[in-house]
Amino acid sequence: MITVTAERFRLSEVFTIARGSRTEAQVLTVVIERGGVRGRGECVPYARYGETLESVTAQIEGLPVDIERASLQGLLPAGAARNAVDCALWDLEAKRAGKRVWELAGLEAPGPEITAFTLSLDTPENMRAAAARHAHRPLLKIKLGTPEDMPRLEAVRAGAPKARIIVDANEGWSADVYADLAPHLIRLGVEMVEQPLPAGDDAMLAEIARPLPVCADESCHDRASLPGLKGKYDMVNIKLDKTGGLTEALALRDAAVAAGYRVMVGCMVGSSLAMAPAVLVAQGVAVTDLDGPLLLAEDRDHALQFDAAGVHPPQAALWG
């Protein structure tokens, strides 16, 4: 039996990116039950990719009740629906086998990974204050993507002078804006910029200088994306809601590394259940960005542990 439930988790404060603001995380929870054993997965439908809660629910409800991971890959495309089902099937397999998912996948035992903490788009004054509140965190991610980003960059660096900083433009810049900002990004100690140009309109990245690493987010979904990134990007951001689950995420990580890309593992704004499988993918990667639960005012039972060592692998009671 496969059930799909829409759930909402309040955010601790308004979260804003270049495309808009939100006050809650809207997720779909998938439960697959067989023989009295239940596996769970979570996804976050994303309007940027033409997904809604309703459309993703319909995709999942259209699957055969006896679906297996191997056949799932061909029945649903990469995206949120396949992610929730794939992760639920991994969880189910682990529980039925009495093992952890990392064992079933042939991975080494996972450990904690330092994760970025995201500062949402706001006025320079508010972003400086937010940076100061979180200056103790080792890695800050700044949401930008407007023509007025330079004061925001300066403000965050002033608020957190010792933190490592990465920047996510969410497709909000033009090639000219990025070229103008790049020297200032370097001056302010920014280590990487994520998706500066719109996906599908990023050819100029192969023509202009890239003085700091550029990471593909919206331009990279699964292994089929990799050929189109050549010469334009230095890193890829792997998100399970883009790859369509843990199965493809692990395969994409290996293929990206083999192709010479550094890897970032990111997330949509979801609960600990959504982050749990991604922690396995994030082992040893260049950048981990799995701070979704840190942005919530409420989370699931047996939530992921975050401390000075980073985000810890999930307890079996949560997932896997």
Active site residues: 143, 239
CA atoms within 13 A on the CB side of 128: 10
Q: Is 273 helix (H, G, I), strand (E, B) or coil?
A: helix
Distance CA 185, CA 190 (A): 5
The 8-class DSSP code of residue 161 comes to T
SS percent in the chain: helix, strand, coil, step 5:
35, 25, 40
Nearby residues of 38 by Cβ (< 8 Å), 6 or more positions away:
31, 32, 92, 95
If residue 306 lies in a helix (H) or strand (E), which one and from where to where? strand 306-307
| CA–CA gap between residue 202 and residue 19 (Å, rounded) | 18
- Whether the CB-CB separation of 265 and 282 falls below 8 Å is answered with yes
Task: Classify 129 as helix, strand or coil.
Answer: helix
Is the distance from CB of 80 to CB of 52 less than 8 angstroms? no
Amino acid at site 284: G
Count Cβ atoms below 10 Å from residue 103 Cβ, excluding itself. Answer: 14
Q: Which strand (E) or helix (H) includes residue 157?
A: helix 150-159
Cβ atoms of 219 and 202 within 8 Å: the answer is: yes
How many C-beta atoms surround the C-beta of residue 249 within 10 A?
Answer: 27
State the pairing for strand pair 117-119/190-194. unpaired
Q: Which of 174, 146, 142, 179 is nearest to 160 (CA)?
A: 142
